[in-house]
Amino acid sequence: MKEELTTQLKGIREKLNSDDIRQIHNQINLLERFISRYFENSSYYHQLLGAKKSVGMIEHLGDGVMGYQISNVKETCYGILDNMILETENFGVPTKNDMKVDKSININNHNNNTQTQTLNLEILKEAFKESLTGKQYKELAEIVEEEKDITKATPRLIDKIKSFGGDVASNVLASLITNPTIYNGLF
């Protein structure tokens, strides 16, 4: 099992050495699945999120636009893969920890097929932090902390967001929609 996992990780690393952005994106998605299966409680996933966001932006804007560079994406992925390979070779295939904190929202759609999508809360936090000032973010966080009853918190949050001005709500929504993870699968 150890040799099989390292061989597969090395295969991903080899295929990342491509100039085709779709090939790179596919390998990042494959790497994400390996992380969630074998390294789920590691920091690799959070490192990969940045690379995944960047590759999505590169697909839509082009390499080098707004500071998104494919070379940086590859470097991040190579670092993750090299560490995963080294860890597997030295310590064997990781086992799942009994204790796990799940910071995600699971959305299940049931039709003829079953599809489970996971929306990471980090995407939401990132959208808020990109669209709000630090003070505005803290004000919303205070309401959430003070009001444990969602029905009471909702009107307070709406009023507070309205007080920030008309552009804030649209900026948050635009930031959420243009997040590469959401944007690529939304429309």
Residues in the chain, total:
187
Whole-prediction pTM value? 0.49
Looking at mean pLDDT, say which of 18-32, 40-54, 61-75, 110-124 comes out highest. Answer: 18-32
In this prediction, residue 119 carries a pLDDT of 52
Q: Same domain, yes or no, for 40 and 81?
A: yes
Q: Same domain, yes or no, for 77 and 154?
A: no
For the chain, how many structural domains are there in total?
2
Summarize pLDDT for 148-167 with one digit per residue, the tens. Answer: 888 888 888 888 888 888 78
Tokens, residue 83:
């560490």
* Cβ neighbours around 1 below 10 Å, total: 8
Q: Same domain, yes or no, for 134 and 180?
A: yes
Mean pLDDT of 133-148: 86
Least confident of 5-14, 101-110, 128-137: 101-110
Cβ-in-10-Å burial (0-12, 13-18, 19+) of 46 comes to: exposed
Q: Same domain, yes or no, for 8 and 82?
A: yes
Residues 147, 141 contacting (CB under 8 angstroms): no
- Asked if residue 32 is part of any domain, the answer here is yes
- Asked if residue 110 is part of any domain, the answer here is no
Hey, is 182 helix, strand or coil? helix
- Domain of 12? 2-91
- Asked if residue 52 is part of any domain, the answer here is yes
Q: Same domain, yes or no, for 67 and 137?
A: no
Q: Whole-angstrom Cα distance, residue 118 to residue 173? A: 19
In this prediction, residue 94 carries a pLDDT of 74
Residue type, 182: I
In this prediction, residue 104 carries a pLDDT of 60
The last residue of one of the domains, among 76, 91, 106, is 91
Q: Same domain, yes or no, for 53 and 8?
A: yes
Residue 22 or 63, more confident: 22
- pLDDT for residue 117 is more than 60: no
Tokens, residue 46:
């959070």
Summarize pLDDT for 77-96 with one digit per residue, the tens. Answer: 999 999 988 888 888 887 65
- Measured at the CA of 179, the angle between CA 174 and CA 185, to 5 degrees, comes to 105
pLDDT-derived band at 185 (thresholds 50, 70, 90) equals low
Summarize pLDDT for 10-57 with one digit per residue, the tens. Answer: 999 999 888 888 888 899 889 888 888 888 777 888 888 888 888 888
Least confident of 31-45, 112-126, 139-153: 112-126
**DSSP one-letter string for 112-169:** SSEEEEEEEHHHHHHHHHHHS-HHHHHHHHHHHHH---HHHHHHHHHHHHHHT-HHHH
Q: Same domain, yes or no, for 13 and 83?
A: yes
Angle of helix 44-61 relative to helix 70-91, nearest 10 degrees, comes to 150
Q: Same domain, yes or no, for 63 and 19?
A: yes
Phi–psi pair at 95, nearest 5 degrees: -105, 155
Cβ-in-10-Å burial (0-12, 13-18, 19+) of 94 comes to: middle
In this prediction, residue 14 carries a pLDDT of 92
